[in-house]
């Protein structure tokens, strides 16, 4: 028992060989599960009468409406479901709402030029390598691409045909290039505006650290993309998007149309436990303020840049009430930066084991929340955020004791 506890504390149980074997087994399991799931379906419909790639259905239908000259109708439920029924050839297809701002419509329209199955495959094939490249650049080790592919959120994102790969790639790339290539970093951050709910704390951290070049590049990118969207689709699509936000908030976030177990925020946890909407919003706001305070302290401090990046990546998720389990792709960015820092400075007690537990959470979060009402996804986010702040405090104390302690 003593040796087991020692292995957990030191992380000695996770040898490079075991890590490689675990990753290979998970990647193989994902591949087999994907093939079997598609084989058990009927054409583009799976055995649960849902589209293959589920959420990608709304991207494809919005793209079709944009190509037809009616981009504003992407935010109209009747028009969207009509396109989805036509695409899948059935009246029983579930409704998948289009909730993205118009600046993502250009991507949707490009994908809708292809048949649905091909478009889904191209979207996954184009964005998955971008994510793997970003994680591999953060942690440049031979095993990193395999471990990045094995991260359980990858499987969740693939199953939903979601955009978590590109989000993680943009955020990871932006944080990695923050010091050396601030303009490119800002461009990447600006492109993240396709999911505006993740933009709550990023500007705050940049302002706290005085990253004015990054801020300017991000603002210019958002302006350029919005201008291009106006040129392509006109002003009515923006009015339609603004009008749709109330419906999206009331159905997706507040109305539990998709299930509390899928949403990985404290808002969802409170609602899952029977709390009212006002209490849930109060808890979400209080947590966001607390995380913002910790983030400002960290980004204004002399802490290592990798710790700042890890904290911002996960704080981006914690701050919003609107985060699904496939969005935990961004938590993988936080894990990568934390590992990068610890490989340089050394791992502290229990860090390896805790990181391994956090890493596996996306595979279990939805099921555990559904069966036991435990918000594992939220717990994992908070754990790595607190770990990062504590590691920064520990490093600062080490600097005081040893003035020659290296700084990142």
In a domain, 183, yes or no: yes
Residue 13's pLDDT is what? Answer: 86
Alpha helices, DSSP H only, in 161-304? 164-176, 182-191, 202-209, 212-233, 236-248, 266-272, 277-300
Report d(CA 67, CA 396) in Å as an integer: 55
- Alpha carbon distance 27, 158 (integer Å): 12
Q: What pLDDT does 408 receive? A: 44
Quickly count: other Cβ atoms within 10 Å of residue 366's Cβ: 20
Query: Please, are residues 153 and 315 in contact by the beta-carbon 8 Å criterion?
Result: no
Residue 406 has pLDDT above 60, yes or no: no
Query: What pLDDT, on a 0 to 100 scale, did the predictor assign at position 43?
Result: 86
Let me know if residue 25 belongs to a domain: yes
Residue 73 has pLDDT above 70, yes or no: yes
Residue with tokens 């439920």: 77
State the pLDDT at residue 402. 63
How large a percentage of the chain has pLDDT more than 70? 97
Flag whether 3 is in a domain. Answer: no
CB atoms within 10 A of CB 110: 15
pLDDT at 41 over 90: no
Tokens at 148, concatenated: 């990045």
pLDDT value at residue 22: 95
Q: How far is CA 68 from CA 75, 86, 112, 114, 390, in A?
A: 14, 14, 10, 14, 53
Only one residue has tokens 């985060």, namely 323
- pLDDT band at 260; cut points 50, 70, 90: confident
Neighbouring residues of 152: CB distance < 8 A, sequence distance ≥ 6 = 26, 359, 360, 361, 362, 363, 364
pLDDT at 92 over 50: yes
Distances (CA, A) of 139 to 17, 132, 302: 17, 11, 22
Count of helices and strands (H, E) across the chain: 19, 0
Q: What phi and psi values does residue 280 have, to the nearest 5 degrees?
A: -65, -45
Would you tell me the crossing angle of helices 182-191 and 212-233 to the nearest 10 degrees? Answer: 40
Asked if residue 31 belongs to a domain, the reply is yes
Split at pLDDT 50, 70, 90, the class of 400 is low
What is the average pLDDT across 255-271? 87
**pTM (global) more than 0.85:** yes
pLDDT band at 82; cut points 50, 70, 90: very high
The yes-or-no verdict on residue 1 having pLDDT over 70 is no
User: Would 121 be classed as within a structural domain?
Assistant: yes
Q: Structure tokens of 310?
A: 């890890």
pLDDT at 399: 65
Return all residues near 241 (Cβ < 8 A) that are at least 6 apart.
75, 101, 102
* pLDDT value for 304: 95
Q: Is residue 1 one of the residues assigned to a domain?
A: no
Q: What is the pLDDT of residue 266?
A: 96
pLDDT at residue 291, rounded to an integer: 97
Instruction: Count up the domains in the chain and report the number.
Output: 1
Are residues 314 and 175 in contact, defined by beta-carbon separation less than 8 angstroms? Answer: no
How far apart CA 290 and CA 278 sit, in angstroms, is 18
User: Count of alpha carbons within 13 Å of 292, Cβ hemisphere only?
Assistant: 15
Q: What is the mean pLDDT of residues 2-14?
A: 82
Q: Is the pLDDT of residue 214 over 90?
A: yes
pLDDT tens profile 47-67: 888 899 999 999 999 999 999
**Residue 308 in this model has a pLDDT that exceeds 90:** yes
CB 327 within 8 A of CB 317: yes
- The parent domain of residue 341 ranges over 8-401
pLDDT in tens, 228-258: 999 999 999 999 999 888 877 777 777 777 7
Q: Please check whether residue 407 lies inside any domain of the structure.
A: no
Q: What is the pLDDT of residues 354-397, one digit of tens each?
A: 999 999 999 999 999 999 999 999 999 999 999 999 999 988 88
Report the pLDDT value the prediction gives residue 254, as an integer from 0 to 100: 76
CB within 8 A of 339, min separation 6: which ones?
139, 355
Answer whether 61's CB lies under 8 Å from 83's CB: yes
Query: Does any domain span residue 387?
Result: yes
**Tens digit of each residue's pLDDT (9 = 90 or more) over 184-203:** 999 999 999 999 999 889 99
Name the average pLDDT for the chain.
92
Can you name the residues that pair with 324 across neighbouring β-strands? 263
* Per-residue model confidence as pLDDT tens digits over 103-150: 999 999 999 999 999 999 999 999 999 999 999 999 999 999 999 999
Both structure tokens of 181: 């290539």
CA 59 vs. chain centroid, Å, equals: 17
């Amino acid at each position: 028992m003593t040796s087991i506890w020692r292995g957990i504390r030191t992380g000695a149980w996770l040898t490079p060989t075991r890590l490689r074997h675990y990753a290979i087994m998970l990647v193989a399991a994902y591949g087999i599960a994907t093939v079997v799931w598609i084989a058990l379906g009927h054409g583009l419909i799976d055995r649960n009468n849902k589209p293959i790639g589920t959420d990608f259905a709304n991207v494809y239908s919005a793209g079709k409406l944009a190509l037809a000259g009616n981009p504003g109708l992407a935010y109209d439920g009747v028009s969207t479901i009509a396109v989805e029924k036509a695409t899948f050839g059935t009246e029983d297809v579930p409704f998948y709402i289009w909730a993205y701002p118009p600046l993502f419509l250009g991507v949707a329209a490009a994908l809708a030029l292809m048949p649905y199955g091909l478009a889904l495959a191209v979207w996954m094939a184009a964005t998955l390598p971008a994510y793997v490249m970003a994680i591999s650049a953060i942690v440049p080790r031979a095993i990193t691409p395999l471990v990045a592919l094995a991260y359980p959120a990858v499987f969740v994102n693939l199953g939903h045909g979601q955009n978590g790969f590109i989000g993680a790639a943009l955020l990871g790339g932006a944080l990695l290039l923050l010091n050396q290539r601030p303009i490119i970093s800002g461009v990447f951050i600006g492109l993240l505006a396709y999911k505006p709910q993740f933009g709550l704390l990023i500007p705050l951290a940049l302002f706290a650290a005085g990253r004015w070049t990054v801020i300017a590049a991000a603002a210019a990118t958002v302006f350029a993309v919005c201008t291009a969207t106006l040129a392509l689709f006109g002003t009515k699509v923006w009015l339609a998007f603004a009008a749709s936000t109330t419906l999206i908030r009331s159905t997706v976030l507040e109305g539990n149309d998709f299930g509390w177990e899928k949403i990985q925020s404290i808002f969802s946890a409170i609602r899952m436990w029977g709390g009212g909407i006002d209490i849930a919003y109060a808890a979400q706001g209080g947590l966001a303020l607390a995380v913002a305070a910790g983030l400002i302290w960290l980004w204004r401090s002399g802490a290592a840049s990798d710790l700042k990046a890890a904290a911002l990546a996960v704080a981006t998720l914690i701050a919003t009430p609107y985060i699904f389990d496939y969005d935990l792709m961004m938590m993988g960015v936080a894990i990568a930066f934390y590992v990068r820092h610890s490989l340089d400075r050394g791992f502290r007690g229990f860090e390896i084991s805790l990181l391994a537990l956090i890493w596996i959470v996306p595979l279990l979060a939805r099921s555990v929340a559904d069966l036991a009402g435990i918000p594992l996804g939220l717990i994992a986010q908070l754990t790595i955020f607190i770990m990062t702040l504590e590691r920064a405090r520990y490093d600062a104390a080490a600097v005081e004791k040893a003035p020659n302690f290296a700084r990142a």
